[in-house]
Amino acid sequence: MARQLLLNAFHMNCVGHICHGLWRHPRDRSREYLRQDWWNTLAGTLERGLFDGLFLADIVGTYDVYAGNAEAALAGAVQVPVNDPLLLVPGMAQTTRHLGFGVTVNLSYEAPYLLARRFSTLDHLTEGRIGWNVVTGYLDSAARAMGYERQMAHDQRYDRADEYMEIVHRLWEQSWDSDAVRYDRESGIFTDPAKVRPIDYRGRYYRVEGIHLSEPSPQRSPVIFQAGSSPRGARFAAQHAECIFVMGLSKEAVKQTVERITRELAAQGRRREDVRILAGLTVVVGATSREAEEKYAEYCRYASPEGGLTHFASSTGVDFSRFDLDEPITERKSEANQSALAAFTRKHQGEPWTVRRLLEQMKLGNRNGAFVGTPSEVADEMQSWMVEADVDGFNLVHTVVPECFEEFVDLVLPELQSRGIYKTAYAEGTFREKLLSQRRYFRAR
Amino acid sequence: MARQLLLNAFHMNCVGHICHGLWRHPRDRSREYLRQDWWNTLAGTLERGLFDGLFLADIVGTYDVYAGNAEAALAGAVQVPVNDPLLLVPGMAQTTRHLGFGVTVNLSYEAPYLLARRFSTLDHLTEGRIGWNVVTGYLDSAARAMGYERQMAHDQRYDRADEYMEIVHRLWEQSWDSDAVRYDRESGIFTDPAKVRPIDYRGRYYRVEGIHLSEPSPQRSPVIFQAGSSPRGARFAAQHAECIFVMGLSKEAVKQTVERITRELAAQGRRREDVRILAGLTVVVGATSREAEEKYAEYCRYASPEGGLTHFASSTGVDFSRFDLDEPITERKSEANQSALAAFTRKHQGEPWTVRRLLEQMKLGNRNGAFVGTPSEVADEMQSWMVEADVDGFNLVHTVVPECFEEFVDLVLPELQSRGIYKTAYAEGTFREKLLSQRRYFRAR
């Protein structure tokens, strides 16, 4: 049997996620993010399309690097206003049966003891369909909202996150035996105390002593997602992640990223096939090439390259407002910290980057580009990424919602199914069993 | 028109809440707390009964004062295992239209910036039906799970909570103007940046700088519930609360509490009628007195006074396992901190308290007692509490679920309605409008 591709929808509890400005499109309904029934309808569409999961991004803080304030982000709805993503899950779980939920939570400002309980609660309520996209955050604006001058240094954040993961996995995996709950009405023993034990963690950053508050849930640990792209982040992913999410501008770039991940996994004693790697993917599909191109051109008329630039300024730490349109973007005028700018210039070696060129790239409000074509052309491209870049599947970035997901389900999925690379029915089991054919988290002891 | 009484159901995301041991009753279904549909069915019953709200308790930490460990709590399911309560709300909100949700969250270990967003998200998803029961926690076991040796001193916790409330209300009430979101597709302006401003709070315990992440929700601030019974806690309630929850062993005791609250309110420039005071209430109702008494006796056979003692040990800080059954409970043998024991002895002045007497009181697994009788007798008692103790309504403590709520709806509510002291239909509006006939939080500026 051909390798089956995995598919998540990529969304966020706000209006503008990645394709900035598309909320202006007349058919876009992302404004309805405040309503539970909007999310339930979306989840229903995804389940109709046999999507493995809905991947919810999140950001704590605002994008205020551009011009040194949040005005452009607010005006353009660049991931602000943004609501809590975890609270969307129970409602959607209620109206679906198979769809998984991978939810981004920044661990830096949450007590591990409480976050562990939150995920256990969700794993119970969803009957084993929850995943956690672990992030450490990267915004000074978030740090200031938490009482710090600025965020912790990058690598130190990950050292701290290593401790955090150790704590939450001990709570999820070790504190309660599977048969600890007896629920014995006769003897009056609900839980056998001998089968529950406190963890006693003393690290450099955290100290946690106590039993986990929740009884064992179907998956215990949620499925762990990670998207770290820095060297330290990639090591973190190789140590902890079960699914790794990569964003790349080209198949070649993604191929290199997957190779690097494979090396990092090997350094941790893990194999490439121990994880699932999903690539970000933006699709504009039409019944004919012409229809697809016309739709793409129409979307571009509503997209906001300025919104994309605002977002990208915070991603890189470079305040692009300080540069003239055609002026080479250099360190001199930027307020970026050294590492952010170094990463930025490393990515674009040799090219004279200017704001004009950046804006030209951001036709859909971001730099990722899109596959534009017929179902067959889109399927070709996806298949070639799987074969050549060795990805296991895709995180489908939304353009105009809900039509982008409806069209993908109606047009592209049948094509993928006819090629034998997409399931025709859900498998039974938890999110982890569906994604990884495994019952327990790999580090469970 | 006669004064209409307010009614909340009192529950918790766990098996054993207040009437310990009743999970052993053959008809009790509290074990289903892990399932969303269990909660939805409960919410449906409450809405059928025109309940104003479902009040969800919570505890962070375990009851480990009794015998110095959590064994008795685990064995008896004394509020452990316990899941996160906030995550129950969106699902129930989806299947109801009027029911409000008052949810306990301990602020001591949550970043105010994130908790504010969580409540805003819930206020959006519930369309203005969320309330927050503010607690500061009282368990050393919680503190140890958060990396501290022990909890912060009692009054200091409330000083810190004062700062916390100031921060979250600034985020909810002041950061976004009501017309900040323009959602103007033509101009591409989603939010008018001139109508959004950061808060910049610098206190002794907290420092928070940033705009609120969520756009204004129907109520902005959730309805603020509080249940502080200490002098400092009562002052906190008088400063911040819109609804105050009191637990009392007798009508006379509750009357005194209400008088004290009234004095505290006056000291803050507020009137008694500015808040709603709800008393905890346990009811066992039967069509005849005899049926009610038999049901009560049956419940008592399953209840666990030992579970009640385990709970009470943590409430008071007194390790009752150190006393023989008939030995007077004194400071000498207890490890309680002075203030907890002082409060305990103050409450029971002159009486020679022993473990045996405590256990005898805990017929239903706690010391609160119950109203046992026909619908008419129960209604008489409720009415007399309203008149004599000046309470606005009740928090209905659950015994055997779901039958306790179903019977209350079917038997007691028609009686209350026929007396003209209970509504016959919901009013329109938010939770705050329903409870207080006010649109905005009273401290909103």
Read off the CATH number of the domain in which A372 is found: 3.20.20.30
Instruction: For residue A190, give the nearest of B75, B121, B146 by CB distance.
Output: B75
- Going by C-alpha positions, the residue among A166, A234, A121, A277 that lies closest to residue B86 is A121
B200/B136 Cα distance (integer angstroms): 23
Within 13 Å of residue B174, how many CA atoms lie on the same side as its CB?
A: 15
Contacts of A192 in chain B (CB under 8 A): 74-75
What distance in Å separates the CA atoms of residue A138 and residue A80, rounded to the nearest whole number?
A: 16
pLDDT at A401: 98
| Among the partner residues A34, A74, A181, nearest to B196 by beta-carbon distance | A74
Q: Which residues of A touch B130 (CB under 8 A)?
A: none
The minimum CA-CA distance between B146 and chain A, rounded to whole Å, is 6
Q: Give CA–CA dist B310/A294, Å, rounded.
A: 70
**What type of residue sits at position A429?**
G
Q: Which of A25, A83, A185 sits opposite B214 (nearest CB)?
A: A83
Q: What is the ipTM of this complex?
A: 0.97
Show contacts of A330-336: CB within 8 Å, 24+ apart: A335/A65, A335/A68
Dihedral of CA atoms A267, A268, A271, A276 in degrees, nearest 10, equals -120
Those residues with Cβ within 8 angstroms of residue B438's Cβ, 6 or more apart along the chain or in another chain:
B432
Which residue is closest to B191 within chain A, CA to CA?
A75
Q: Cα-flanking dihedrals φ and ψ of residue B377, to 5°?
A: -65, -40
How is residue B229 annotated by DSSP?
Answer: -
Domain for residue A384, yes or no? yes
Token readout for A70 is 């949040």
Q: Searching chain B, which residue's CA lies closest to the CA of residue A15?
A: B190
Q: A265 and A353 in contact (C-beta within 8 Å)?
A: no
A189–B16: do the CB atoms touch at under 8 Å? no
Mutation choice for B interface testing from A32, A84, A183, A206 by most B CBs within 10 A: A84
Q: Are A151 and B210 in contact (CB under 8 A)?
A: no
Chain A residues with CB inside 8 Å of B20's CB?
none
Are A182 and A189 within 8 A, CB to CB?
yes
Query: Quick check: A37 and B94 CB within 8 A?
Result: yes
Residue A1 belongs to a domain:
no
Identity of the residue numbered A177? D
Judge whether B92 and B51 are in contact, CB under 8 Å: no
Q: What is the structure's pLDDT at A259? A: 95
The low-confidence residues of chain B, meaning pLDDT below 70, are 1, 331-351, 445
CB contact under 8 A, B81 and A124: no
Identity of the amino acid at B281: L
Contact B170, B199 (CB under 8 A): yes
The pLDDT value given to residue B443: 86
- What tokens were used for A100? 């998984």
Residue A154 marked as a ligand binder = yes
- β-partners of residue A201 are A208
With respect to residue B350, please indicate whether it lies within any of the assigned structural domains. yes
* Whether A147 and B207 lie within 8 Å, measured CB to CB: yes
Q: Look at residue B330 in the predicted model and tell me its pLDDT.
A: 77
Of B113, B125, B191, which is closest to A146 when you measure between CB atoms? B113
- Cα–Cα distance, B207 to B163 (Å, whole number): 10
List the binding residues of B: 58, 104, 154, 158, 229-230
In a domain, B155, yes or no: yes
* Rg of the Cα atoms in chain A: 22
Asked, for residue A367, whether it belongs to a domain, the answer is: yes
Which pLDDT tens digit goes with each residue over B400-433? 999 999 999 999 999 999 999 999 999 999 999 9
Q: Is residue A400 part of a domain?
A: yes
B101: phi then psi, degrees, rounded to nearest 5: -135, 110
Q: Which residues of B touch A218 (CB under 8 A)?
A: none
Instruction: State how beta strands A207-210 and A199-202 pair.
Output: antiparallel
Nearest-by-Cβ selection for B209 from A118, A144, A181 = A144
Q: Helices B112-125 and B154-169 meet at what angle, rounded to 10?
A: 60
Which of these, A356, A367, A365, A433, lies nearest to A400 by C-alpha position?
Answer: A365
Nearest in space to A393 (alpha carbons), one of A18, A6, A25: A6
Count of CB pairs separated by less than 8 Å, A with B: 214
Q: How many domains is chain B built from?
A: 1
Residue A272, CA distances (Å) to A264, A281, A394, B381 in order: 9, 21, 17, 69
Written as one string, the DSSP assignment of A81-121 is SB--SGGGHHHHHHT-SS-EEEEEEEGGGB-HHHHHHHHHH
User: Going by C-beta distance under 8 Å and a sequence separation of 6 or more, which residues neighbour residue B121?
Assistant: A13, A83, A84, A87, B214
Instruction: Give the distance, in angstroms, between the CA of residue B175 and the centroid of all CA atoms in the same chain.
Output: 28
| B343 is a domain residue | yes
The DSSP element (H or E) to which B436 belongs, if any, is: helix B431-436
φ, ψ for residue B414 (rounded to 5)?
Answer: -60, -35
In a domain, B1, yes or no: no
pLDDT of residue B3: 82
Global pTM value = 0.97
- B272 CA: distance to closest CA in chain A (Å): 35
Q: Identify which of B91, B121, B176 has the shortest CB distance to residue A83.
A: B121
For residue B445, what is the DSSP state?
-
Burial readout A73-100 (b: 16 or more C-beta within 10 A, e: otherwise):
bbbbbbbbbbbbbbbbbbbbbbbbebbb
User: For chain A, which residues score pLDDT lower than 70?
Assistant: 1, 331-351, 445
Domain that holds residue A240: 6-444
Mutate to test the interface with B, among A123, A125, A186, A189 (most CBs of B within 10 A): A125
Contact call for B60 and A213, based on CB within 8 A: yes
Q: How far apart, in whole angstroms, are the C-alpha atoms of residue A160 and residue A32?
A: 37
In angstroms, the CA B121 to CA B202 distance is 25
Q: Is A20 assigned a ligand-binding role in the annotation?
A: no
Whole-number pLDDT of residue A386: 96
| Closest C-alpha to B77, from B35, B39, B25, B40 | B25
Phi and psi dihedrals of A154, rounded to 5?
A: -50, -55
Q: Is B349 helix (H, G, I), strand (E, B) or coil?
A: coil
User: What is the model's pLDDT at position B178?
Assistant: 98
Helices (H), B22-131: 36-48, 71-76, 89-94, 112-125
pLDDT of residue A330: 78
